[in-house]
Structures are given as structure tokens and as C-alpha cells.
Amino acid sequence: MTTLRDRLYVVVFQSDTPAGRRFDKTLLLIILASLLVVIIDSVETVHSQYADLFAWIEWGFTFIFAVEYLLRLYCSPKPLRYAFSFYGLIDLLAIVPGILAIYYSDAQYLMIVRVVRMLRIFRVLKLSPYLKQANYLLAALRGSRQKIIVFLVSVSTLVTVFGTLMYVVEGPRNGFANIPTGIYWAIVTLTTVGYGDIVPITPIGQVLSAMVMITGYSIIAVPTGIFTAELANAMRGEGLQHECGVCHKRSHEQTASFCSQCGNALFKKAL
Amino acid sequence: MTTLRDRLYVVVFQSDTPAGRRFDKTLLLIILASLLVVIIDSVETVHSQYADLFAWIEWGFTFIFAVEYLLRLYCSPKPLRYAFSFYGLIDLLAIVPGILAIYYSDAQYLMIVRVVRMLRIFRVLKLSPYLKQANYLLAALRGSRQKIIVFLVSVSTLVTVFGTLMYVVEGPRNGFANIPTGIYWAIVTLTTVGYGDIVPITPIGQVLSAMVMITGYSIIAVPTGIFTAELANAMRGEGLQHECGVCHKRSHEQTASFCSQCGNALFKKAL
Amino acid sequence: MTTLRDRLYVVVFQSDTPAGRRFDKTLLLIILASLLVVIIDSVETVHSQYADLFAWIEWGFTFIFAVEYLLRLYCSPKPLRYAFSFYGLIDLLAIVPGILAIYYSDAQYLMIVRVVRMLRIFRVLKLSPYLKQANYLLAALRGSRQKIIVFLVSVSTLVTVFGTLMYVVEGPRNGFANIPTGIYWAIVTLTTVGYGDIVPITPIGQVLSAMVMITGYSIIAVPTGIFTAELANAMRGEGLQHECGVCHKRSHEQTASFCSQCGNALFKKAL
Amino acid sequence: MTTLRDRLYVVVFQSDTPAGRRFDKTLLLIILASLLVVIIDSVETVHSQYADLFAWIEWGFTFIFAVEYLLRLYCSPKPLRYAFSFYGLIDLLAIVPGILAIYYSDAQYLMIVRVVRMLRIFRVLKLSPYLKQANYLLAALRGSRQKIIVFLVSVSTLVTVFGTLMYVVEGPRNGFANIPTGIYWAIVTLTTVGYGDIVPITPIGQVLSAMVMITGYSIIAVPTGIFTAELANAMRGEGLQHECGVCHKRSHEQTASFCSQCGNALFKKAL
């Protein structure tokens, strides 16, 4: 016999049953709608005209999320553990700004933390092939973590050196107000963003920045190469799993026909 | 015995015969020319001087396309089916703006939908090796669709969070007029386009945007890596897809009778 | 017995002997120096002060190149054939601007055609491993030619459509003076250059340009993927060259141990 | 019996012992702190208020580095050799600017050379897996050196030709003051940085720059492709390099005794 609480638990916390998935999907749509309202409300012309309407709508969303939070507390087998879990805190954070906004109108933008709740999207997609694809990407990222740290340390050093050099060469007169500004410029240039808010004026500065640009243009190859090689690895898999009949060596090169340890043919010819 | 209608059908609708290919090529050139005229006519100095001339030329093109459309209707075995097919609607759309332009001069720019007719280019190239190459690219894109959706969802989340953060940090005073503008800025920065129409002024804003830039610079590796790995797969996977019963090697040479890894006969029946 | 002309021919036209290589290297340095002089002379402050000096130096270079050209004509076994060959015309073009510059001072910048003469650099490097590397790159480019044409046609279509759309949406009021300007903007944006000389002002324009940016950011993966896959192919080579003892099939998969046509073991086991 | 000097040598120069690693880590933190102080001191508002404080802190760092330098000289077995080694000179350079800064306040920014001392970070990480990853990257860079030189020569030629063309087409009137400025513009455009400080105004200039952009957008594929292919090679090539006498397969598993392709014994002696 299932009580109301048990049935609620299945709907609210699990996403394996049709009802649970429907609940999660509805929740996702509501979160998306609440984000959209925050975004639209930030437009001055809209805000000045419909301020009251938007305030009511946001109150509505805060109310819905509060009800959902209380429901989760009620039907969870271990309410305290939920309350202090990652998702529990996020769910709480989705309500707080709506209440704070009564006193501080700026607090309203904290509502954007609700975007973190969008992480639930991965629960809805749990059983879909998307997860496998995301796993490939994560495996590739994990495999290239150390290489990427080496890369980021090198980039940081480059950016510091060039930022300082440009500060010394160009000086505050040409917009390079201090070394942090120089570093900001170096990042803008190295990543090929190139706002143009700070640009070199002196010939030496232009030569230096040409060097930064060509460096940035070339070393984009490094993260790309790292990631591509790792992703190809992750997609190719681990090698051939086939136990050698003689020496029992279990994993071989992908294309092995003979065991590399004992020379025995791995596959008895059918003829 | 072939009637005029049958012969017209071969020329107008098919591209396997010399006459059909010549017709399609001529049509392509006329479409290109009509696009060029629209483009040139948009230049103010040209338009003010040769407005009448261009109006006549555009009338000419509209007339040619109308004749072509009527011809297609006439010689098609199933005129109604053609009229409501994708190409039929596109062909109609190529005529309408020219007629609308008499009443609304702005409608003239709708003529650019004629660029869609350029898709016929693939019919002319049908028998060429280009199609095979386009297929490789499409296969790679199709294979990486799910990974790319995961990637785009992550990018959208990033852009929303950073756009809102910058709106809160920099505010309308520094050009970040509202959250949509902040998101627009985040896209401009993350994709390393960097117009420079909206730039961070405060130190915190500059630190935040440096983070966006480095993120954008690094994650370009992700679509590149995905696509490269899939394309390499698509180019390798030209061969025979048949799993070997003994060693489970999956792809073989197109003409293989025996597995190149274990020597097993691939098709038992043949023995 | 070698005449002076024969010995000159070896020095001037060939790069296999030490003397020939020394001649080619010296020539390269002189070409580089002449280019540097043109570049430096274009700086207003330098030109106004040392105009006479630079005029003399450029005369000197023109004289040297003229002497070299006459030497080549003299010692070439077939002077006319040389004169009308690609290199012969380039060599002539290196002299002409210097002489034209007496009458038209603008002709001086034609001297930059001398940069084409730098192609001789590949003759000097002929015997070095650089050529092999350049061949890999060229093979990869040649292999991906068709894919790149498909890619460029798609990009051109995209750029035309978006350029026209932006012209209609933003209009001359916001800097999109005509369709060619719109196309120019679309190229600037799609390639992530992003000058910022023309930027979208209206919300619809900003949404459209965000789409162009994300497209541009994503499809950079396409040429990269194409080139990487082709380069990996070119570096891996053509497959295993080993004639099967039974059916005489000559080329096999890179990792084949058995002939895929007759199932015979390709390599007789040594034991 | 170990003297004080011997024990100091182990701590100061070696990083295999716990004490040595602790010393190196502390030193790294001090170097980082000294860099941070230089960077922060360059901010005008901070400098004007805390000039004295920062001067004292910088004196402190200079004192610490001087003590460290003297310690190294004292405990090194061959002091002169250390003094003229790469690291010895760098260590000296870390002290000099602090002393020079008494007379020339600009010399203070020379302190940024201390960033070079950060190279010691690789000594601290010596025993970690980071080095292996850095080696992969370096191997890939070394392997692609020649290809990259071919690439950079091509890019330099492109940039020179387009820079000159733009100078001739646009002229000083539109910001292209001289050929070096034109080349600077070409680099800014080709690398897709796109500051927007110098932009083409004339239609011909815009067409030319569109060509530069599309070239830059496409050829970024080249370094990426080169690096990816080499990195994949470097990561794959971990195995045994020994050509099989029968099938000429070149790389095998690290522990292979028999070729996995033909089953031949790799080392004849063992039979």
C-alpha cells in the first residue's frame, strides 16, 4: 500500500516513471518562463510600463517554487539531508531572491541563479542518448585536463609578460592605464576578440601586438589539438578485448591478429 | 513518339541529358544575374542614377521566371503536385516580389529569396564528385548532432549567466542597457567577434569578460574536435559494414571476402 | 671544356652546386632588402627626410635586378623561352616599376611585386626536408579541395542572405548603406573579425547577428576538420603495399594480416 | 658527515627531498607575491596613496631575493658556473631592478623579468604527471616545426602583399598611413582580431579585406590540423619502436615479443 507521500516522492524526486518525467518537464518549462520574465523585465521600456504586472508574475513564480520546495521537504524520506544537499540548496536559492526583492529591488537579478536549476535538464534527458555523448565530451575533457593546465599556465605567463611590456611601451597616455589594464588588453588580443577599446599607437607597440596576435592565432591549435586527439581516443575505445587461448593475455592492440606476448593466432581460422 | 510536352519535360525537369544540363546551367546564370542586379540596385548612388534601367531589368527577370514557372506547370505530368512541392513554391516565390514591388518598393528585397533557388546548383552538380564530398560533411554533421546540442545548451547557459552578471556589474551606465543586451555582448565576446560597441569599463567587468574570452577561446576546441573526429569516422567508414563472426572487426574493405584481421570467411554461404 | 656562359648558367639557373646556392641565397637577401626599402620609404617622416637617398638606393636595386635579368638572358640556352616563362616575366616585372617610377611616383609601389620573386626561396630550400612538409600540406589541401568548394559556396550563400536581411532590418540609418555593405558586415562577423565599424542597433538586428556569430563560431570547425582529417590521411600513407602470394592482390588495409580477397595469411609465420 | 653547506645545497638546489620541495614552493609563492605587488603598484590610485608602503614591500622582496642569491652562490659547489648559468643570470636579474629603481623609477617595471623565474614551477612539478603531458605537447610542436615554418613564411608573404595593396588602395587618407601600418592592419585582420582602429572605407578596400578575412578564417585550419595530427602521433607513439622483419609494422605494444600483425617473433635471439 502506497501512501500519498510515497506517491508524491515518486513523482517529485524520480524521473523514471511517466508521471515523474512529466513533473520534471513541467518544472523545466516553469523555470525557463521565470528566467524569461527576469530577462524581459530588465528592459527599461518594458519595466516602466508593466512594472506591476511583472512584479505579480514574479511573485507567482516564487510562490510556485516555494510550494515545490515544501513538497520536496514533505515527501523526502530524509528531509534534512535533502535540505542540505546541492539540489536542496539550489531549490532554496530559487525562492530567496523573490522574497528579498521586496526590500531590495536589485536582489531581483539574483533570480538568475535559477538558471542553475536548469541542470535538472540532465535528469529529464537521463535515459536518452545525449548522456552518452556528454560522457564522451567529459571523458575527453578529463583526459586532457593536465595538458590544459600546462596550456593555461603558459597562456597566463604570456599574457602577464606582454601586458607589462605594453604598459611600459605605450603607457597611460595611450590607454594602457596600468599593468592590469595591459593584461586585460593582452587577453582581449590573444583570444582574437579584439574589442578595439585599447589599441597600440606607437610602432613598437604595434609590432609587439602583432606578435601577440600571431601567437594567439597559432596556439588556438593547442587546445583544439588536445581535445580532438582525446575525443578521438574516447570514441575509438580501449582496444580489442579478446583472451589469448595460450597465454591468457586479455587486451590487445585494436587490430591485432596475433598475440603480441606469445605469437599465437588470436582467431582460429574457420576453414 | 514524343510530344513537345514530353521533350520540354526532359529539358526543364531533368538534368541527365545535355539539353537538360544546359537549361539548368543557363537558369543558374540568370538567377545569379538577377541577384547581382538586386544587390547593385541597393547602392544609393547607382539607384538614384539608373533607377529606371534597373526597374526594367528586374521586370525582365520577373518575366523570364514567370515564363519558366508556366512552362514547368505546363509540361509537368502532375502540375498540382509540382505547384505545392518545395521547389514549386520556391519558383513561385521568385516571381511574386517582382510583382509586389510595383506597389511596395521595399518588397523588392524579397527578391533575395531567389538565392534559395540557387539550391538547384546541386542538381547541376548531381553527377559530379561534389555530392560525395557534401555527403561526407553531412554525415559528419549528422553524427555529431547530439554532441553539438549538448554543446549549444552549455553555451546558451554560459551566455545567459555571464550576460546577466555583466548587466548587474556594469549596468546601463556603461552600455549594458538590459539583460538581452548583456547576452548579446556575451555572444559577441564568447565567439571572439568582439565588435567593441559595448565594452566593460569597471575592473570587475573586465575580469569577468576576460573569463568569458578565455572560455570562448578554449571551447572553440569542442565543436572542432567533435566535427574532426566524426569526419575522420565518416571518411574511414567508406568500407563494408559487416561484423566478422570470429573477431568482431566491424568494417572491411569494400570488396573483402575474408576478414583481414583473422582470415575468417566473411560470408559463410560462399564456401 | 666549359665556356664562361656554361659556368654562368650553372651558377645563375641551378641550385645544386655550392656556387648556385650561394647565388640564390644572395639574390634572396637582395630581394628582401629591396622590399624593406620600399616598406620603409612609405613612412611619411622617413620619406620627407631621406627621399633622395631612398631614390638612389631603389635605383641601385633596379640596376642590380636589370643586370641579373640580362645575365639570365645571356646564359640561358633558350633565351626567348626563358623570357616568356613564369619566372622570366616575374624577373622582368621586378625591373619595370623602378623605371616607371621616374615618371609616376605611384608606380613605385608596384615594386612590391618583387615579393613574388621570393618564391625562389623554395628553390634554395629544394633539397631540404621543408619540401616534404610543404608536400604534405599541399596534398592535404588538394585532397580537401572539393569539400572546401562545397564549404565556400555554403558560406557565400549564408553571407548573401544575412547581408540582405540586415540591410532590410537595419537600413542605411544604422550604417548598413546597401546590400554590398551588408555582405561586407556579414563576412566581418562570420569570420569573427568583428571590426565594429558597422554594428547592429535594433534588437532584431542584434538577434540576427548573434545567429551569424554562433554560425561563424561553429562552422570554423568545418575547414579545420576537413584539413585535419586529410592531413592525417596524407601523413599515414596509402595502406600496406604487400603482394598476396595466392591471389596477387597488391594493396591491403594498413593493418591487414590476411588477404581480404582470398583469406590467405599475408605473412608466413617465421616459426 | 654533512656540513651546513652540503645540507643547504640539498635544500636550495634540489627538489627531490621534502625540504627541497618546500623551499621551492615557498620561493614560488614569494615570486608570485612580488609580481602581484608590481602589478598592483602600477594602478595610479593605489600608487598615489600607498607609494611608500609599496616601496618598502618591494625593498623587502629585493632583500629576500638578494639573500637567496648569496645563499646559492655560497652553497653551490661551483659558484662561478652557477653565476653564469641561465638560472644564475635570471636570479641576478631579479635583484638588479629593485636596486636600479632607487635612481630610475621606471626601472621598477623591469621587475617583471621575475616572471621568468616562474619557470622554476617546472622543477616543483618535476615528479608529477604534468611533465609527461608537457612533453607530449613539446613533441608535437617539435614534430610540426618545419610545417609551421612553411606556414609562417606563407602568412608573412600574404600579409606583406595585402598590407601594401591596401596602402595603395586606401591610402593615408583612410588611416593606412604607410606600408608598415598596412601590414599591421593585415595581421590584425588575418588573425581575426579585428580591433577596428583601421578599417577599409573604399569598396575595393572592403572587397580586399573580405578576401583577407576569409583567408584568415580558413587557414587557421592549417596550424590546427598540423598540431592535431602531430599530437595524435605523439600520443600513439608511446609503444615499442622496432620494425618487424616480415611485415615491416613499425610500432608495437611496449611489452610485445611477437608482431601483432603477422605473428613473427620480434627478437630472433630469443628463440
Q: In whole angstroms, what is the distance from residue C13 CA to residue B190 CA?
A: 53
How many other C-beta atoms can be found within 10 angstroms of the C-beta atom of residue A119?
Answer: 12
Is C122 touching D (CB cutoff 8 A)? no
How many other C-beta atoms can be found within 10 angstroms of the C-beta atom of residue B71?
Answer: 15
Residue A167 has pLDDT above 50, yes or no: yes
State mean pLDDT over A23-50. Answer: 85
Amino acid sitting at position B203: P
Is C192 touching D (CB cutoff 8 A)? yes
Cross-chain residue pair C271–A257, CB shorter than 8 Å:
no
How many other C-beta atoms can be found within 10 angstroms of the C-beta atom of residue A71?
Answer: 15
Structure confidence at residue B205 (pLDDT): 92
Most confident listed range (D17-21, D57-61, D150-154): D57-61
Q: In whole angstroms, what is the distance from residue C8 CA to residue C1 CA?
A: 14
Structure confidence at residue C127 (pLDDT): 47
Residue C184 has pLDDT above 90, yes or no: yes
| Angle (CA) B27 B30 B32, round 5° | 110
Work out the percent of chain C whose per-residue pLDDT is above 90. 8
Backbone angles phi, psi at A107, to 5 degrees: -60, -20
Amino acid sitting at position A246: V
State mean pLDDT over D63-70. Answer: 89
Cross-chain residue pair C242–D247, CB shorter than 8 Å:
yes
Residue C125 has pLDDT above 60, yes or no: no
Run of H or E including D252: strand D251-252
What's the grid cell of residue B12? Answer: 526543364
Banded model confidence at residue A206, pLDDT cuts 50, 70, 90: very high
Closest to C255 (Cβ–Cβ): which among A194, A196, A255?
A255
How many Å lie between the alpha carbon of A141 and the closest alpha carbon of chain B?
A: 9
Structure confidence at residue C208 (pLDDT): 92
β-strand partners of D252 = D240
For chain B, the C-alpha Rg in angstroms (whole number) is 28
Which chains would you list as touching B if contact means 3+ CB atom pairs under 8 Å? A, C, D
Between A170 and C252, the higher pLDDT residue: A170
- In sequence order, the 6+-apart residues with CB closer than 8 A to the CB of D240 are D251, D252, D253, D254, D255, D256, D266
Helices C145-170/B18-41 angle, 10° precision = 40
Cross-chain residue pair A227–B225, CB shorter than 8 Å:
yes
Q: In whole angstroms, what is the distance from residue A151 CA to residue A179 CA?
A: 22
Banded model confidence at residue C110, pLDDT cuts 50, 70, 90: low
Residue B203 has pLDDT above 80, yes or no: yes
Structure confidence at residue A238 (pLDDT): 47
When mean pLDDT is compared across A11-15, C45-49, C117-121, the lowest value belongs to C117-121
Amino acid sitting at position C193: V
Residue range D133-153, pLDDT digits in tens: 667 777 777 777 777 777 887
Please state the ipTM of this predicted complex. Answer: 0.76
Structure confidence at residue C270 (pLDDT): 47
B-interface mutation test, from A45, A193, A198, A220, most B Cβ less than 10 A away: A193
**Chain D residues near residue A252 by CB distance under 8 angstroms:** 253, 260
Q: In whole angstroms, what is the distance from residue B199 CA to residue B209 CA?
A: 9
Residue A58 has pLDDT above 70, yes or no: yes
Which chains would you list as touching D if contact means 3+ CB atom pairs under 8 Å? A, B, C
The per-residue pLDDT of chain A, averaged, comes to 79
b/e string for D56-83 if b means 16 or more Cβ within 10 A?
A: ebbeebbebbbebbeebeebbeeeeebe
Cross-chain residue pair C229–B223, CB shorter than 8 Å:
no
CA pseudo-torsion sign C201, C206, C208, C214: positive
State mean pLDDT over C90-118. Answer: 71
Closest to C192 (Cβ–Cβ): which among A192, A257, A258?
A192
Q: In whole angstroms, what is the distance from residue D126 CA to residue D120 CA?
A: 10
- How many Cα atoms occupy the beta-carbon half-sphere of C31 within 13 Å? 23
Q: Tell which B residues from 154 to 183 touch C, by Cβ distance under 8 Å.
A: 155, 180-181
Using DSSP bridges, classify how beta strands A240-241 and A251-252 pair: parallel, antiparallel or unpaired.
Answer: antiparallel
Banded model confidence at residue B188, pLDDT cuts 50, 70, 90: very high
How many Å lie between the alpha carbon of D268 and the closest alpha carbon of chain C?
A: 10
State mean pLDDT over C11-29. Answer: 81
Phi-psi region of C171 (alpha: psi -120 to 50; beta: other; left: phi over 0): left
**Chain B residues near residue C217 by CB distance under 8 angstroms:** 190-192, 216, 220, 223
Q: Tell which B residues from 239 to 268 touch C, by Cβ distance under 8 Å.
A: 252-253, 255-265
Is C231 touching B (CB cutoff 8 A)? no
Residue range B143-186, pLDDT digits in tens: 777 777 778 878 888 898 889 889 888 888 898 988 899 999 99
Between D209 and B19, the higher pLDDT residue: D209
What's the grid cell of residue A112? Answer: 538568475
Structure confidence at residue D105 (pLDDT): 65
Amino acid sitting at position B97: P
Banded model confidence at residue C217, pLDDT cuts 50, 70, 90: confident
Residue range D78-103, pLDDT digits in tens: 888 888 887 788 788 778 877 777 77
Is A213 touching D (CB cutoff 8 A)? yes
Residue D271 has pLDDT above 50, yes or no: no
Run of H or E including D215: helix D203-219
Structure confidence at residue A131 (pLDDT): 62
Residue A1 has pLDDT above 70, yes or no: no
**Chain D residues near residue B196 by CB distance under 8 angstroms:** 195-196
Structure confidence at residue B118 (pLDDT): 65
Banded model confidence at residue D127, pLDDT cuts 50, 70, 90: very low
Q: In whole angstroms, what is the distance from residue C258 CA to residue A257 CA?
A: 9
Interface size C-D, in CB pairs within 8 Å, comes to 149
User: CA end-to-end span of chain B, whole Å?
Assistant: 51
Q: Tell me if B170 sits within 8 A of B176, measured CB to CB.
A: yes
C-interface mutation test, from B149, B226, B227, most C Cβ less than 10 A away: B227
Cross-chain residue pair B147–A129, CB shorter than 8 Å:
no
Q: Tell me if B76 sits within 8 A of B13, measured CB to CB.
A: yes
Long-range CB contact pairs, A121-128, < 8 A, 24+: A121/A28, A121/B153, A123/A15, A123/A24, A124/A15, A124/A21, A124/A24, A124/A25, A124/A28, A126/A15, A127/A16
How many Å lie between the alpha carbon of B71 and the closest alpha carbon of chain C?
A: 27
Is D211 touching C (CB cutoff 8 A)? no
Closest to A224 (Cβ–Cβ): which among C196, C224, C269?
C224
**Chain D residues near residue B259 by CB distance under 8 angstroms:** none
Closest to D232 (Cβ–Cβ): which among A218, A232, A262?
A232
Run of H or E including A252: strand A251-252
Long-range CB contact pairs, C198-203, < 8 A, 24+: C199/B195, C199/B197, C199/C175, C200/C166, C200/C169, C200/C170, C200/C174, C201/C170, C201/C174, C202/C169, C202/C170, C202/C174, C203/B180
What's the grid cell of residue B56? Answer: 526594367
Run of H or E including A185: helix A179-190
Q: Which of C254, C250, C226, C261 is nearest to C238 (CA)?
A: C254
Structure confidence at residue D267 (pLDDT): 63
How many Å lie between the alpha carbon of D165 and the closest alpha carbon of chain B?
A: 25
How many Å lie between the alpha carbon of A257 and the closest alpha carbon of chain C?
A: 7
C-alpha dihedral, A169 to A172 to A177 to A182, nearest 10°: -20
Helix ranges (DSSP H) in B84-220 = 86-93, 96-100, 114-117, 121-124, 130-143, 145-170, 179-190, 203-219
Q: Tell me if B105 sits within 8 A of B82, measured CB to CB.
A: no
Banded model confidence at residue D270, pLDDT cuts 50, 70, 90: very low
Run of H or E including A251: strand A251-252
Q: Which of D154, A214, D219, A222 is nearest to C130 (CA)?
A: D154
Cross-chain residue pair A258–D255, CB shorter than 8 Å:
no
Closest-CA residue of chain A to C269 = A263
Closest-CA residue of chain D to B197 = D196
What's the grid cell of residue C92? Answer: 622582368
pTM of the entire predicted model: 0.80
How many Å lie between the alpha carbon of B130 and the closest alpha carbon of chain A?
A: 26
Q: Which of A39, A53, C105, D185 is nearest to B178 (CA)?
A: A39
Residue D171 has pLDDT above 50, yes or no: yes
Structure confidence at residue D95 (pLDDT): 81
**Residue A14 in 3-state DSSP?**
coil
Closest-CA residue of chain B to C185 = B195
Cross-chain residue pair B196–D195, CB shorter than 8 Å:
yes
Which chains would you list as touching C if contact means 3+ CB atom pairs under 8 Å? A, B, D
How many Å lie between the alpha carbon of B256 and the closest alpha carbon of chain A?
A: 16
How many other C-beta atoms can be found within 10 angstroms of the C-beta atom of residue B271?
Answer: 7
Closest-CA residue of chain C to A197 = C196
Q: Tell me if D181 sits within 8 A of D167, measured CB to CB.
A: yes
Q: Could you tell me how many helices (H) and strands (E) chain B has, helices first?
A: 13, 2
Give the CA distances from residue B49 to residues A156, B46, B102, B106, D159, in Å, rounded to whole numbers and listed in that order.
Answer: 57, 5, 19, 18, 38
How many Å lie between the alpha carbon of D12 and the closest alpha carbon of chain A?
A: 24
Distance of CA A122 to the CA centre of its chain: 12
The position carrying cell 592482390 is C249
Residue A233 has pLDDT above 80, yes or no: no
State mean pLDDT over A168-176. Answer: 87
Run of H or E including D232: helix D221-236
Give the CA distances from residue C98 to residues B91, C56, C84, D162, in Å, rounded to whole numbers and listed in that order.
Answer: 56, 11, 20, 20
Q: Tell which A residues from 19 to 48 touch B, by Cβ distance under 8 Å.
A: 35, 38-39, 42-44
When mean pLDDT is compared across A254-268, B108-122, D42-56, the lowest value belongs to B108-122
Structure confidence at residue C271 (pLDDT): 46
How many Å lie between the alpha carbon of C196 and the closest alpha carbon of chain A?
A: 8
User: Is A128 buried (19+), middle (13-18) or exposed (0-12) by CB count in 10 A?
Assistant: exposed
What's the grid cell of residue A123? Answer: 535528469
Structure confidence at residue B271 (pLDDT): 42
Q: Tell me if C244 sits within 8 A of C266, measured CB to CB.
A: yes
**Chain B residues near residue C157 by CB distance under 8 angstroms:** 115, 118
User: Is A26 buried (19+), middle (13-18) or exposed (0-12) by CB count in 10 A?
Assistant: exposed
Print the SS3 string covering chain C.
Answer: CCCHHHHHHHHHHCCCCHHHHHHHHHHHHHHHHHHHHHHHHCCHHHHHHHHHHHHHHHHHHHHHHHHHHHHHHHHCCCHHHHHCCHHHHHHHHCCHHHHHCCCCHHHHHHHHHHHHHHHHHHHHCCCCCHHHHHHHHHHHHHHCHHHHHHHHHHHHHHHHHHHHHHHHHHCHHHCCCCHHHHHHHHHHHHCCCCCCCCCCCCHHHHHHHHHHHHHHHHHCHHHHHHHHHHHHHHHHCCCEECCCCCCCCCEECCCCCECCCCCCECCCCCC
Closest to A112 (Cβ–Cβ): which among B164, B229, B246?
B164
